[in-house]
Amino acid sequence: MTDIRNKTTLIASIFISFYLSACGQTDTSILPEVEKTKRVHITNERIFNDEASIPPQCYTRTEQKYNPCYTCHQLYDRKGEDRLNQLDDGSIQGSYIFSDIGVTNHWSNLFEDRSQWLKDVDDQSIRKYVATENYQSLPKILSDSGWTGFIPDLTNYHKGAAAFDANGLALDDSGWVAFNYKPFPGTFWPTNGSTDDVVIRLPKKFRELNGQFNRDIYFINLTLTELNLKNIDSVNFWNIDESEINADLNRDGKLSIIDTITKSSHYLGDASDEKIEFQQFPQGTEFMHSVRYVGTDIQGNISIPARMKELRYMRKVNVLNRYVIDSRYANERKEKLLEQVPNFIKRGDEGLDNGLGWFVQGFIEDYNGDLRPQSYEETMFCMGCHAAIGTTIDSTFSMARKVSGGQGWGYINLHGMKDAPNFNEEGGEILNYLQRAGGGSEFRSNPEIIEKWYKDGTPDVDKIQAADVYALITPSMRRALDLNKAYSHIVRHQSFINGRDATWSPVTNVYKEIDESTPPLDGAHRVYHWDMRLNWD
């Protein structure tokens, strides 16, 4: 173990212990008790895995032909379309390029047998646990403790779609907006253990016209943000009367009723002095991402339940100059080449600084199932994806995958959603993933996906193309219950630093230790040029 390399004041371990004792709003007698000696001690004084930002998926056995790596690591043609993210790490697809510390897979939860735990937790108990919300108590616990970071302020967020109107605007006047997006391939599919949603909030002046809240202005500014991030020219929208906001949105020289939003150099309303910076969100933009259990009903329908596994928060603190971003990506490439371990600055209660303009903070279940702030090491887990991979746009995923335009403003709904192709590829994204990854996750450990969507060892193209996203990536009721039970074992042991994947049988397609002489993917599967943006047209 080594001391945390932190440039600001640490939250002492006793501070975390306060949260563990202060919580306790949830009746967890329905879950088996675990001896204290078998629980992981949560501390901010030391870390156990200096490479906690390397996700478990990076230890997958590719067997020189299975490539799930392309969804995170990408090369882009600099002579073609411009792109903010110039990390260009696609060459490491299927390669095991780690530091001396990173060659050891520290995610030991992947190799644990939880089959007895699944027997000890009955179906009715896990249903009750998952249906019990654990969000509403968090703001008060944080406020009472003197917490100086973000305090969740979205009323009834635990209720999912019921907290928003038809276009995703929060009903509590908080300014949060939900949007509909396609879950990222692999781990984030509900069939692999979690449901989720994402909400965004732009700063106050982006929501106002002449000092007053203006719904049209807010959604136009949100859509201009979407256009900028996706680098597209226009999207369909609902009818807007340009004369009411005194803005020529479609650039036709007159004010009329239009249903298209066109790219602009500046935002509108009281934010009209704000220039739109290429593929960056405005300073002050906030995201909340709730990662939840897999909800079920007696009929076997899969839904987003009240209980949250995690609540993740990001705030855009700086809009950086392009040369600064390029320099930081270049430095990241150099550190990778030198096999240096990552070092993130802790910004007190505001979380970790990703070095690209964002602070990242997370909350996760404590022993009793209530949400608590993550430790430094637990938050490092988030940084691997939100700091230094080539596929992201402004360090984020979800907005680039939003259903385009007006139709995409509203709470996430996979029913009827088509398997839209990516910007630069033919064929549905899910179909392509199943062909390249060799299964329904990076670990190829989901037998239900194989049974449902493969035929004679290869994806059943006709069957997949006839299905919607809901059918393709949601589990059966039996699998959903078992996934929830398996994850509750991790919660009860507080062993998040050992992995968060809801597995109950030891995985076999993952290395415990990397032999650096292991060959990379062969030429036919070596590098897929992929763009996570989706062509909804």
Q: Using 50, 70 and 90 to split pLDDT, how confident is the model at 11?
A: very low
474-533 per-position pLDDT tens digit: 999 999 999 999 999 999 999 999 999 999 999 999 999 999 888 889 888 989 999 999
DSSP 225: H
360: closest CA among 337, 392, 400, 403?
392
Give the residue carrying structure tokens 């603190």.
317
> Tokens standing for 386?
């939100």
- Give me the pLDDT at residue 402, please: 98
- Give me the pLDDT at residue 78, please: 64
Contacts of 54 (CB under 8 A, 6+ apart): 98, 102, 384
Query: H/E element holding 449?
Result: helix 447-453
312-367 per-position pLDDT tens digit: 999 999 999 999 999 999 988 888 777 788 889 999 999 999 999 999 999 999 99
> Tokens standing for 483?
């996934």
221, 231 contact by CB (below 8 A): no
DSSP 333-394: HHHHHTTPPP--EE-GGG-EE-SSSEEEEEEEE-TTS-EEEPPHHHHHHHHHHHHS-TT-BT
CA distance 283 to 210: 20
19: closest CA among 44, 2, 38?
44
346, 6 contact by CB (below 8 A): yes
Q: Tell me, rounded to whole angstroms, the distance of Cα 270 from its chain centroid.
A: 31
Contacts of 322 (CB under 8 A, 6+ apart): 84, 278
DSSP 283-349: TT-EEEEEEE--EE-TT--EE--S-EEEEEEEEE-----HHHHHHHHHHHHHHHHTTPPP--EE-GG
CA distance 306 to 134: 8
Asked if residue 24 has pLDDT above 70, the reply is: no
Contacts of 149 (CB under 8 A, 6+ apart): 142, 348, 349, 350, 351, 361, 373
Asked if residue 12 has pLDDT above 80, the reply is: no
Asked if residue 22 has pLDDT above 90, the reply is: no
Asked if residue 251 has pLDDT above 90, the reply is: no
Q: Using 50, 70 and 90 to split pLDDT, how confident is the model at 4?
A: very low
What's the burial of 395, exposed, middle or buried (CB within 10 Å: 0-12/13-18/19+)?
buried
Please give the mean pLDDT across all residues of the chain: 92
Q: What angle in degrees, to the nearest 10, is found between the helix axes of 138-145 and 13-22?
A: 140
Give the residue carrying structure tokens 């259903």.
403
CA distance 525 to 85: 23
25, 411 contact by CB (below 8 A): no
Q: Using 50, 70 and 90 to split pLDDT, how confident is the model at 299?
A: confident
DSSP 163: G
Q: What is the pTM of this model?
A: 0.94
Q: Using 50, 70 and 90 to split pLDDT, how confident is the model at 252?
A: confident
402-437 per-position pLDDT tens digit: 999 999 999 999 999 999 999 989 999 999 999 999
- Give me the pLDDT at residue 25, please: 52
Q: Using 50, 70 and 90 to split pLDDT, how confident is the model at 75?
A: confident
Asked if residue 26 has pLDDT above 90, the reply is: no
Taking only Cα atoms into account, the Rg of the chain, rounded to an integer number of angstroms, comes to: 23
82: closest CA among 194, 228, 181?
228
> Tokens standing for 7?
């440039």
> Tokens standing for 343?
């070092």
Query: H/E element holding 119?
Result: helix 115-120
Q: Using 50, 70 and 90 to split pLDDT, how confident is the model at 445?
A: very high
Contacts of 417 (CB under 8 A, 6+ apart): 180, 182, 403, 468, 469, 470
Neighbouring-strand partners of residue 432:
none
From residue 119, how far is each of 31, 116, 466, 499 by CA, in Å? 11, 5, 36, 22
CA angle 404/407/412 to nearest 5° reads 90
Q: What angle in degrees, to the nearest 10, is found between the helix axes of 123-131 and 477-493?
A: 70
Asked if residue 3 has pLDDT above 50, the reply is: no
106-120 per-position pLDDT tens digit: 999 999 999 999 999
Asked if residue 210 has pLDDT above 60, the reply is: yes
Residues above pLDDT 70, as percent of the chain? 95
Average pLDDT over residues 448-469: 98
DSSP 3-state of 400: helix
120-145 per-position pLDDT tens digit: 999 999 999 999 999 999 999 999 99
Q: Using 50, 70 and 90 to split pLDDT, how confident is the model at 369?
A: very high
Q: Using 50, 70 and 90 to split pLDDT, how confident is the model at 79?
A: low
Domain residues of the chain, as ranges? 2-202+284-525, 204-271
